[in-house]
Amino acid sequence: MDDEIRSIEDNSNTNAFENQYHENQAIKESFASQPQPIVRSNPKSKFVAITSLCLVSAVIGGLTTAAALPYIYPANSTSLTQTAKSSSITPVSLATNQTNFPVAQIAKDIGPAVVGVSNFQSSQGFFGNSDLQEAGSGSGFIIDAQKGYIATNNHVIDGAQKITVSLSDGRNLVAKVIGADPRTDLAVLQISDTKNLTAVKLGDSSKLEVGESVVAIGNPGGNEFARSVTTGVVSALNRTLAIQGEASFDLIQTDAAINPGNSGGPLVDYQGQVIGINSAKYAQSGFEGMGFSIPISDALPTIQQLISTGVAKHPALLVSTDDQYISYAQTNNKPLGAYISNVTPNGPAAKAGITKGDVITKINNVQVQNSTDLVHELYKYNVGTKITITYIRNGQTNQVQATLGEISSNQ
């Protein structure tokens, strides 16, 4: 299980589940063997294949006219609405020298604030010596030019022993990690040389509409394709992915082209404001144009915590879950839910009476079918919030109230 599920719930205990539900029958189908159509970019490979779910940043290809941007998404996804007429999009005023090409102006204004992020880790050399090699690369964007703060994805810098940042003016600088949070897949870096830096403008992702035109900028494949520009629309809102970090958010789905190496880059609206952090794409064979971004309004509180204290704090029940229960439940016609494999003594769940073997099915009357749903629902609340938990024990449905505790990114 990923760290985010463990944040709610720290680790799995398969044997406990098997003993309670089927004394002599092992679960035949493990969680790891289930199909994983959504995959994340591997930070240890410099240019990963499209079959990995790159937690990507945005790339925006070319100078396209406003007339070519809005279009209808494939029929098997959420129905989309074109929000702008293809013949008459008014250019947004982003600078004093306005052009008739809003994407071109966005690229000029935002491009210098987009950076490449390289992750260096120890590697065994040919003669047995150990040295630092680039293990992966991604993107980021400057959010404070005076202090040199850069926002990116946690998975871009995960495991790094050295991080370098490449700027649009050709400078390559060593960066330090101000704070990183696997539970939200967010990280903040800082560079000391702040000369001539450009920062992005942050927008309000809560006001986004399906069909709205967006632009992505990032470094697909590394610095060779630095600050690539692609365009698309908001394909859907409030998407959920069952992967670490992204499970915490209602994600923005976009058809703007994103690729491995784009993770951590900005998704920008036509006002030239960042409204998302490109983090993942749907990479199943036969699917195209399904990228996902963390909404900037939802990410900002965590980013601010990382800058202020170096850690991020999140609400938690302090339990462990085991999604191998899902296969068992489907096979034996049992209710779906988040199976509790362990409960932290004196934690919020323990104080509420939740025990090992319970199956949580609702949080405040919102259905929970697995560990991802549990994480997703809990992260909608603040530490100290009282919630109602519906759970099943020995075939009986029960309800209890619990006050959410706290878990931090360094736990």
Model pLDDT for residues 107-159, shown as the tens digit of each residue: 999 999 999 999 899 876 666 666 888 888 899 999 999 999 999 999 999 98
| Residues facing residue 142 across a β-bridge | 150
Quick one: tokens of 388?
A: 């109602």
The CA dihedral of 355, 326, 403, 6, to the nearest 10 degrees, is 90
Q: Give the distance from CA 19 to its chain's centroid.
A: 35
pLDDT of 10: 38
Q: How far apart are CA 15 and CA 22, in angstroms?
A: 10
Q: Which entry of 137, 155, 166, 322 is annotated as an active-site residue?
A: 155
- Could you say which of 10, 158, 181, 185 is catalytic? 185
Confidence (pLDDT) at 254: 92
- The pLDDT, as a whole number, for residue 223 is 74
314 is catalytic: no
Which fold would CATH assign to domain 3-34+313-408? Pdz3 Domain (2.30.42)
For the chain, residues with pLDDT lower than 50 are: 1-39, 41-99
Catalytic residue among 263, 293, 341, 371, which?
Answer: 263
pLDDT of res. 41: 42
CB 40 within 8 A of CB 247: no
Q: Which of 226, 220, 233 is nearest to 267 (CA)?
A: 233
pLDDT at 47: 39
Active site residue 263: yes
Q: What is the domain partition of the chain in residue ranges?
A: 3-34+313-408, 36-311
Dist. CA 121–CA 98, nearest whole Å: 44
Cα separation of 168 and 141, whole Å? Answer: 11
232: how many CB neighbours lie within 10 A of its CB? 24
d(CA 349, CA 357): 13
Per-residue model confidence as pLDDT tens digits over 296-306: 999 999 999 99
> Are 240 and 292 contacting, i.e. CB atoms less than 8 angstroms apart?
no
Please give the class, per CATH, of domain 36-311.
mainly beta
Active site residue 155: yes
Task: Provide, for the chain, the percentages of residues in helix, strand and coil under a 3-state DSSP scheme, each rounded to the nearest 5.
Answer: 20, 35, 45
